[in-house]
């Protein structure tokens, strides 16, 4: 058996095992059959172990053979004249570490969640969505074409939004899930337009052809400066939505309504880095435009500063950790803008592992403190006086308000984007209702004339 | 069998109408439903047999086929071609699924007789290529929903005004296209009445208000079967496109695109679940019209693929909503209802079919939407941008509806709301087609591409013939 065929087989197992898991749990949900907790936990463990072993084996083979990039072509999903959708996976220096990180962290979190979610009514639903997330992450990481990346990106978004609303018998998680989904849809739209424009400009949908012949991090995109600027800006919007960069940061603390294991894996470790991963993947496009790189650096730094300030005013541990994550993601994005791709990749790997640990310990934080204090025999020392003590009281107060309101970004988006759109369509709806009432000769349906609904009013409050 | 596919089609049209006559004699609703299921299944089986025969028949010569109408009238009025084969399957499937999932509580107010008659008309419409016969069938198809509105003591005026306009414009438009009027120069003006007729029937803004009105006033099943097959789009393909000028097609494109975005936005603010569904449908069906209007085989193929995927997905989505409504009544979308714990499987189907309708990855709609956007961007980046915006907004309104119906609170009720086996089978079959089509889209997309090529070839042929 040649090395190529071995890698091909292993590559299939990397994606096939989680896909089989998703199919199993999805089929059970569709058929209305609840699987036993132990069965679900074993299936998840098996899929992750198979995937992790295969991806590590691929890494070893690549190192032994000295290959920096191994594309695996699984053929056409569709092929008609002038259009083909290829299923292609790309194992390289960027995707393989990210895939291994995904399996390690998903394995850890699934083992934790098996106990944490024990006898929870939504146990199967949690792992069903978890499997969708896993497949989405793998598809995004391993995508050899922009179409596959988009498919994975969407799966991650869906599972993420539904897990934010996991405790769905309460209205607040559900409202937050809708907010998260709305931002994700905007980011998906930007990614889709970027993908199509990139396809049109370069004539390819394949990363290896779009981004030049060199393996990651080398390669140069076959675009003009102007094309690179437009496409890169769209990729940046997509990344900003997914990684909660400014001005989309408002959804990140809202996403903490989900169960702790999903918060850990999504907003501490993997999903929040997906925007940075996308920017790393399309790095050759970014570097074609100095202005674009400057924007990326500026956005990253603004996000980092904002998250550092906002994190200071959080009163619950998960929100504080979310902003701490965001500060690091901002720095990672700035590193990408500065062209430090390996630094950014290593930063992602280290940060994701640390933050997962912190999130998983978050539910027992007080218990850990008590243990430490008991061990030390006195209260733990307070933090030293921080930089904000040197600011004038009025500036401190303003910064505190700014941090407490999370930079007013949510308010801004609600007031100047969502509300005008909703207001316009409500006005149109009332107009239509009056028109049909006049045509039919019946009074307008009062029940259906739309004002701001109770759900939305609560949200605005 | 491959020599008899036209006969199979005629049998598929005859089975429901003969069955309707038989069912009319039955007084019992339960047995009427059982017979209706058998009859609709028979019609579907006949279409499937005809389809197999059509695929096996390599000659492609319709006149070599034996058929009843061929023997009586000397002409094949009903026939398969590359365009209508999957559409006929879709029509038969939508009717069967609607009849199967009709709950007992609704069966008394739901006319199986008229549903079967409507199925016959729909199957005949989608297998007809003769212009005037198609116009007759499209005209007759207007009656069953009208009759139902009357029988439910609902105002028929909105529906009637639009449909009278549609029929009048359709007849006038076809007459003008065929006649030589000295006072009208230029085929753009000649095609205007037909263009308007098609815009009305397809629910393109500003002629769309009859669709939400029909959904609010008629039985959900009747409204679904009347609008989901998209007879207006079929009329556009058969009557208008072959001889349409570039201006007429551009007008369709622009108005459909505006409708796609407008209806998506309208779905976002609806508080009534049926109005929400109707605007989702209007937005998605407008995308089909956009695709068909693009001057490129890829765009047309994308439009045709979206036609199938949206038809299938919205059929499943609509039937799921109908099942929820049958248990809980019409639920407003401005409150949370928390039905997930009571109806977990329906919740999954709701999300699955809804996501499929917006072209989510892994479903049949994904590739169609990708093709459509790809071709649209080539035509004009603004068209691509508008389609993406419409899809994004539809995704948000879909999730809003899901969260409102199935989450947000704990539903307290003493009655078990579980899915019935018939409902489960019907929605499972649709879900299997949606997922199967998403994982193995090549045959369906290839057939849509061939149909698109044929359509464009016939159009180019007609336009070059009419050119001076």
Contact at CB, A193 and B385, closer than 8 angstroms: yes
A-contacting residues in B 130-159 (Cβ below 8 Å): 155, 157-158
Residues of chain B found within 8 Å of residue A121, distances taken between Cβ atoms: 341
pLDDT in tens, B311-334: 999 999 999 999 998 888 888 999
Nearest-CA distance B370 → chain A (Å): 9
φ, ψ of residue A77 to 5 degrees: the values are -75, -40
Q: Which residues pair with B332 in a beta bridge?
A: B272
User: What is d(CA B226, CA B118) in angstroms, rounded to the nearest whole number?
Assistant: 8
Over residues B368-390, the mean pLDDT reads 87
Nearest-CA distance A190 → chain B (Å): 9
Contact at CB, A447 and B404, closer than 8 angstroms: no
Contact at CB, A439 and B366, closer than 8 angstroms: no
- Contact (Cβ atoms closer than 8 angstroms) between residue A206 and residue A186: no
Contact at CB, A454 and B340, closer than 8 angstroms: no
What is the model's pLDDT at position A448?
52
Residues of chain A found within 8 Å of residue B301, distances taken between Cβ atoms: 80, 83
B277 at interface of A, judged by CB pairs closer than 8 A? no
Residue B410: is its pLDDT beyond 90? Answer: no
Bond prior to A328 in cis (omega within 30° of 0): no
Sign of CA dihedral B142, B148, B151, B155: negative
What is the model's pLDDT at position A446?
47
Residues of chain B found within 8 Å of residue A188, distances taken between Cβ atoms: 392, 395
Residues of chain B found within 8 Å of residue A189, distances taken between Cβ atoms: 388-389, 391-392
Instruction: Using CA coordinates, name the residue in chain B closest to A79.
Output: B442
Can you say whether residue A232 is alpha, beta or left, with left for phi > 0 and alpha for psi between -120 and 50 degrees? alpha
Residues of chain B found within 8 Å of residue A421, distances taken between Cβ atoms: 265, 268
pLDDT in tens, B416-433: 667 788 888 888 888 899
Q: Mind spelling out the 3-state secondary structure of chain B?
A: CCCCHHHHHHHHHHHHHHHHHHHHHCCCHHHHHHHHHHHHHHHHHHHHHHHHHHHHCCCCCHHHCCCHHHHHHCCCCECCCCCHHHHHHHHHHHHHHHHHCCCHHHHCCCCHHHHHHHHHHHHHHHCECCHHHHHHHHHHCCHHHHHHHHHCCCCCHHHHHHHHHHHHHHHHHHHHHHCCCCCCCCHHHHCHHHHHHHHHHHCCCCCCCHHHHHHHHCCHHHHHHHHCCCHHHHHHHHHHHHHCCHHHHHHHHHHHHHHHHHHHHHHHCCCEHHHHHHHHHHHHHHHHHHHHHCCCHHHHHHHHHHHHHHHHHHHHHHHHHHHHHHHHCCCECCCCCCCCCCCHHHHHHHHHHHHHHCCCCCCHHHHHHHHHHHHHHHHCHHHHHHHHHHHHHHHHHHHHHHHHHHCCCCCCCCCCCCCCHHHHHHHHHHHHHHHHHHHCCHHHHHHHHHHHHHHHHHHHHHHHHHCC
Structure tokens at A185: 């849809």
User: What is d(CA A230, CA A228) in angstroms, rounded to the nearest whole number?
Assistant: 6
Residue A461: is its pLDDT beyond 60? Answer: no
User: What is d(CA B326, CA B105) in angstroms, rounded to the nearest whole number?
Assistant: 7
Distances in Å between the Cα of A237 and the Cα atoms of A52, A54, A276, A337, A390 are 31, 34, 11, 14, 36
Nearest alpha-carbon partner for A299 in A323, A276, A266: A276
pTM here?
Answer: 0.92
Residue B182: is its pLDDT beyond 60? Answer: no
Residue B287: is its pLDDT beyond 50? Answer: yes
Q: Where does the pLDDT of residue B226 fall: very low under 50, low under 70, confident under 90, or very high at 90 and above? A: very high
Residue A452: is its pLDDT beyond 60? Answer: no
pLDDT in tens, A321-365: 999 999 999 999 999 999 999 999 999 999 999 999 998 888 888
Q: Which of A212-216, B23-27, B39-43 has the highest mean pLDDT?
A: B39-43
Question: Which member of B155, B266, B335 has the closest CB to residue A440?
Answer: B155
Question: Which member of B355, B408, B442 has the closest CB to residue A78?
Answer: B442
pLDDT in tens, B232-257: 999 999 998 887 788 888 899 999 99
Interface predicted TM-score of the whole assembly (ipTM), two decimals:
0.91
Residue B37: is its pLDDT beyond 70? Answer: yes
What is the model's pLDDT at position B49?
94
User: What is d(CA B272, CA B150) in angstroms, rounded to the nearest whole number?
Assistant: 22
Point out the least confidently predicted range of A148-162, A441-455, B243-257, B276-290.
Answer: A441-455
Nearest alpha-carbon partner for A103 in A40, A52, A160, A45: A52
Residues of chain A found within 8 Å of residue B262, distances taken between Cβ atoms: 428
User: Helix, strand or coil for residue A145?
Assistant: strand
Q: Which residues pair with A324 in a beta bridge?
A: none
Q: Which residues pair with A86 in a beta bridge?
A: A76
Instruction: Using CA coordinates, name the residue in chain B closest to A161.
Output: B399
What is the model's pLDDT at position A444?
63
Over residues B124-130, the mean pLDDT reads 93
Instruction: Using CA coordinates, name the residue in chain A closest to B159.
Output: A440
Nearest alpha-carbon partner for A40 in A156, A122, A103, A100: A122
Contact at CB, A32 and B419, closer than 8 angstroms: yes
Nearest-CA distance A169 → chain B (Å): 4
Structure tokens at A27: 């089929």
Q: Which helix (H) or strand (E) holds A376?
A: helix A365-376
Question: Which member of A30, A158, A161 has the closest CB to residue B348?
Answer: A30
What is the model's pLDDT at position B468?
45
Over residues B381-407, the mean pLDDT reads 93
Angle value at C-alpha A430, between A426 and A436, nearest 5 degrees: 140
B296 or A274: which carries more pLDDT confidence? A274
A27 Cβ contact list (under 8 Å, min separation 6): none
Angle value at C-alpha A25, between A23 and A27, nearest 5 degrees: 65
Q: Where does the pLDDT of residue B463 fall: very low under 50, low under 70, confident under 90, or very high at 90 and above? A: low
Nearest-CA distance A191 → chain B (Å): 10
Structure tokens at A319: 């929100």
């Amino acid at each position: 058996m040649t090395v190529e065929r071995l890698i091909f087989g292993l590559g299939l197992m990397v994606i096939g095992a989680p896909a089989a898991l998703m199919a199993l749990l999805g089929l059970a949900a569709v058929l209305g059959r609840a699987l036993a907790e132990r069965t679900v936990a074993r299936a998840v463990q098996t899929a992750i172990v198979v995937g992790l072993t295969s991806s590590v084996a691929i890494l070893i083979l690549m190192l032994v053979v000295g290959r920096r990039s191994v594309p695996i072509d699984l053929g056409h999903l569709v092929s008609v004249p002038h259009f083909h959708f290829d299923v292609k996976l790309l194992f390289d220096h960027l995707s393989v570490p990210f895939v291994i990180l995904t399996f390690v962290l998903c394995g850890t979190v699934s083992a934790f969640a098996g106990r944490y979610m024990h006898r929870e009514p939504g146990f199967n639903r949690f792992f069903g969505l978890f499997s969708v997330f896993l497949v989405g992450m793998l598809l995004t990481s391993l995508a050899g074409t922009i179409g596959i990346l988009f498919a994975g990106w969407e799966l991650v978004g869906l599972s993420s939004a539904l897990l934010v609303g996991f405790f769905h018998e309460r209205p607040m998680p559900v409202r937050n899930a809708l907010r998260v989904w709305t931002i994700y849809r905007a980011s998906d739209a930007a990614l889709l337009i970027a993908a199509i424009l990139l396809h049109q400009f370069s004539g390819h949908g394949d990363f290896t052809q779009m981004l030049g012949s060199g393996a990651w991090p080398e390669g140069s995109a076959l675009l003009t400066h102007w094309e690179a600027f437009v496409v890169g800006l769209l990729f940046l919007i997509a990344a900003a939505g997914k990684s909660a960069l400014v001005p989309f940061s408002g959804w990140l603390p809202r996403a903490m309504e989900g169960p702790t294991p999903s918060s850990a894996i999504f907003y501490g470790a993997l999903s929040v880095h997906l925007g940075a991963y996308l920017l790393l993947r399309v790095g050759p496009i970014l570097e074609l435009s100095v202005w674009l790189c400057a924007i990326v650096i500026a956005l990253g730094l603004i996000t980092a500063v904002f998250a550092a300030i906002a994190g200071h005013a959080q009163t619950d541990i998960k929100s504080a950790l979310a902003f701490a994550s965001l500060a690091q993601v901002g720095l990672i994005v700035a590193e990408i803008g500065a062209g430090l791709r390996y630094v950014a990749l290593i930063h992602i790997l280290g940060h994701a592992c640390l933050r997962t640990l912190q999130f998983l310990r978050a539910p027992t934080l007080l218990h850990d403190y008590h243990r430490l204090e008991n061990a030390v025999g006195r209260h733990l020392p307070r933090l030293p006086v921080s930089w904000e003590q040197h600011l004038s009281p009025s500036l401190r107060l303003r910064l505190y308000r700014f941090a407490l309101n999370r930079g007013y970004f949510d308010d801004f988006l609600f007031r100047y984007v969502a509300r005008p759109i909703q207001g316009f369509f409500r006005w149109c709806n009332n107009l239509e209702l009056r028109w049909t009432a006049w045509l039919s000769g019946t009074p307008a349906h009062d029940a259906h004339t739309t004002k701001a609904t109770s759900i939305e009013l609560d949200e605005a409050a | 069998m491959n020599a008899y596919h036209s006969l199979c089609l005629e049998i598929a049209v005859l089975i429901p109408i003969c069955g309707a006559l038989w069912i009319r004699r039955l007084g019992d609703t339960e047995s009427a439903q059982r017979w209706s299921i058998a009859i609709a299944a028979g019609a579907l089986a006949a279409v499937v047999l005809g389809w197999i025969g059509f695929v096996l028949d390599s000659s492609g010569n319709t006149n070599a086929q034996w058929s009843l109408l061929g023997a009586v009238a000397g002409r094949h009025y009903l026939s398969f071609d590359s365009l209508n084969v999957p559409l006929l399957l879709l029509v038969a499937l939508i009717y069967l699924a609607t009849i199967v999932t009709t709950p007992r509580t609704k069966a008394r107010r739901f006319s199986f007789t008229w549903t079967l008659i409507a199925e016959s008309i729909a199957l005949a419409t989608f297998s007809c290529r003769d212009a005037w016969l198609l116009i007759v069938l499209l005209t007759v198809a207007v009656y069953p929903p009208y009759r139902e509105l009357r029988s439910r003591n609902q105002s028929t005026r909105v529906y009637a005004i639009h449909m009278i306009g549609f029929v009048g414009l359709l007849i006038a438009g076809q007459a003008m296209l065929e006649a030589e009027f000295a006072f009208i120069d230029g085929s753009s003006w000649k095609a205007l009445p037909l263009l308007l007729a098609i815009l009305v029937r397809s629910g393109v803004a500003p002629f769309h208000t009859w669709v939400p009105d029909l959904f609010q006033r008629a039985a959900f099943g009747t409204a679904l079967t009347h609008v989901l097959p998209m007879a207006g789009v079929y009329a556009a393909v058969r009557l208008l496109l072959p001889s349409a000028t570039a201006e007429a097609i551009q007008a369709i494109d622009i108005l459909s695109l505006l409708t796609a975005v407008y209806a998506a936005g309208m779905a976002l603010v609806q508080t009534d679940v049926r109005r929400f569904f109707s605007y989702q449908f209007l937005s998605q069906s407008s995308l089909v019209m956009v695709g068909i209007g693009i001057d490129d085989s890829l765009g047309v193929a994308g439009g045709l693929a979206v036609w199938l995927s949206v038809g299938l997905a919205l059929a499943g989505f609509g039937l799921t909503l109908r099942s929820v409504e049958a248990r809980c009544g019409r639920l407003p979308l401005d409150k949370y209802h928390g039905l997930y714990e009571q109806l977990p499987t329906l919740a999954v189907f709701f999300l699955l079919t809804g996501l499929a309708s917006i072209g989510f990855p892994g479903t049949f709609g994904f590739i169609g939407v990708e093709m459509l956007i790809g071709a649209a961007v080539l035509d004009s980046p603004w068209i691509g941008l508008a389609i993406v915006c419409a899809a994004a907004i539809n995704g948000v309104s879909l999730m809003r509806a899901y969260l409102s119906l199935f989450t947000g609170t704990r539903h307290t009720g003493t009655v078990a709301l579980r899915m019935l086996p018939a409902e489960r089978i019907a929605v499972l079959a649709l879900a299997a087609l949606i997922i199967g089509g998403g994982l193995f889209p090549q045959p369906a997309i290839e057939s849509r591409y061939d149909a698109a090529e044929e359509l464009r070839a016939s159009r180019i042929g007609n336009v070059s013939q009419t050119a001076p």
